[in-house]
Amino acid sequence: MRWNRVVVVWLLIIAAESVSGALREVFLTPRIGPVMAHQIGVVVGCVVIFAITWFLLRWMQVITMSRQLLAGLVWVLLTLVFEWALGLALDVPPEAIKADYDLAQGGLMGLGLLFMLCAPVLVGRLQGIGRDR
């Protein structure tokens, strides 16, 4: 497993998610509101994660299911740190950040992170790689 490659793929995911989020805020949020826009954003984010993982899983050299799950876990932890650091740097109240993860408030980020965790395993299965030895 190449840790630097796992981090590079995460950076690509975060860059793509950031562009998607900016486009969502400009074009979608004014039309349908922030909660629904964020929910759609999570679904779009899952598609982005899947696509990037699909093309780069072999390049990361995560060839066992346990390594794939570990790569997903690293992505989730890096994403949580990134989201919280960015939110706090932009003076977003912690309650607003937490709301994105609260299903009762319509937040689907927790489900998005669960998908991120599982994406390398899912893609590995679909591509026929990832059998633990």
Nearest Cα neighbor of 106 from 21, 2, 30, 33 is 33
What are φ and ψ of residue 87, in 5° steps? Answer: -60, -45
Domain range annotation of the chain: 3-127
Task: Check residue 90 and report its DSSP letter.
Answer: T
* pLDDT tens per residue across all 133 residues of the chain: 789 999 999 999 999 999 999 999 999 999 999 989 989 999 999 999 999 999 999 999 999 999 999 999 999 999 999 999 999 999 999 998 998 889 988 889 999 999 999 999 999 999 999 776 5
* 123: nearest Cα among 81, 45, 71: 71
Distance CA 55, CA 11 (A): 14
The pTM of the full predicted model, rounded to 2 decimals, is: 0.92
